[in-house]
């Protein structure tokens, strides 16, 4: 409660506007939209140019699928990703308003919980996010739900860096709501939130790269416990395996790993 009061004071001292006004809502959402779409194009574009344009021969043996991409696939993926970014932007705006009103557990002073809590909160969030995503992902693969919610993402049979945010708006909504809901419960420093969002973006692009950049040794920690392109490509190919987001432990526990 102390930090909630501090967040209200912080906004007052910084002379920031009341973000619940229509003009401020629109402006803040557009700022988030520019940041999120910029991050998407920067990271996805960088990986695309490095692995597919600048040094394709170097990574040819690590390419998972040898078939060519569907005609206009990138264009469609970017269209859906931009729409997803808009949904993420709205979620970001809602989160800021909740923070401004003192409803979230977002804090600004590190000494409130100490330095050790910074990485601990990141780990807790990622484990909870992994759990949420694994089960919601399996639910989205129920036939009736899949056709409405998840098919857009799987239209990319062979994933690309641009597949990372390519979701139907309903799936984008399910993806977007997790962060603001968790911030109502879990104390997180805003620096940790930025780090988490950066990890999420890089992880999603790497998982959809269709070029395996992790070690081939099955006993390697990255290969065994962290999802990469080789692991996630099996999901896009067979649909009923490998439902995880960052880690493989739920797939191992529930025996859905291929």
Among 114, 119, 128, 123, CA closest to 185? 128
pLDDT of residue 215: 84
Tokens 């996805």, residue located:
44
For the chain, how many residues are written? Answer: 258
pLDDT of residue 258: 87
SS3 (DSSP) at 111: helix
pLDDT of residue 12: 45
Which residues make Cβ contacts (< 8 Å) with residue 31, sequence separation at least 6? none
Q: How many CB atoms lie within 10 A of CB 17?
A: 12
Q: How far is CA 182 from CA 55, 129, 150, 238, 240, in A?
A: 40, 9, 23, 32, 28
| Low-confidence stretches of the chain (pLDDT beneath 70) | 1-18
Among 158, 238, 192, 213, CA closest to 227? 213
Among 48, 56, 57, CA closest to 77? 48
Rg (CA), the chain: 19
Indicate the angle between helix axes 73-100 and 2-13, nearest 10 degrees.
100
pLDDT of residue 22: 79
pTM, full prediction: 0.90
pLDDT of residue 99: 92
């Amino acid at each position: 409660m102390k930090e909630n009061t501090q967040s209200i004071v912080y906004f007052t001292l910084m002379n920031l506007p009341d973000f619940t006004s229509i003009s401020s809502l629109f402006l803040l959402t557009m700022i988030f939209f520019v940041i999120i779409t910029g991050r998407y194009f920067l990271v996805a574009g960088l990986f695309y140019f490095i692995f597919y344009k600048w040094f394709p021969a170097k990574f040819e043996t690590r390419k998972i699928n040898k078939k060519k991409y569907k005609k206009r696939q990138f264009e469609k993926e970017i269209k859906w990703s931009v729409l997803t970014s808009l949904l993420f932007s709205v979620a970001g705006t809602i989160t800021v308003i909740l923070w401004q009103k003192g409803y979230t557990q977002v804090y600004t002073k590190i000494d409130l919980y100490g330095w050790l809590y910074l990485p601990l909160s990141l780990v807790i969030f990622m484990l909870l996010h992994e759990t949420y995503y694994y089960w919601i992902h399996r639910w989205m693969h129920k036939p009736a739900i899949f056709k409405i919610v998840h098919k857009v993402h799987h239209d990319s049979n062979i994933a690309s860096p641009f597949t990372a945010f390519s979701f139907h708006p309903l799936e984008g909504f399910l993806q977007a709501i997790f962060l603001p809901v968790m911030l109502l419960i879990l104390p997180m420093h805003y620096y940790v939130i930025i780090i988490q969002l950066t990890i999420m973006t890089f992880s999603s692009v790497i998982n959809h790269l269709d070029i395996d950049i992790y070690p081939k040794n099955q006993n390697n920690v990255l290969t065994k416990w962290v999802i990469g392109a080789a692991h996630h490509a099996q999901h896009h190919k067979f649909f009923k395996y490998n439902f995880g987001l960052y880690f493989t432990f739920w797939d191992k526990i529930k025996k859905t790993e291929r």
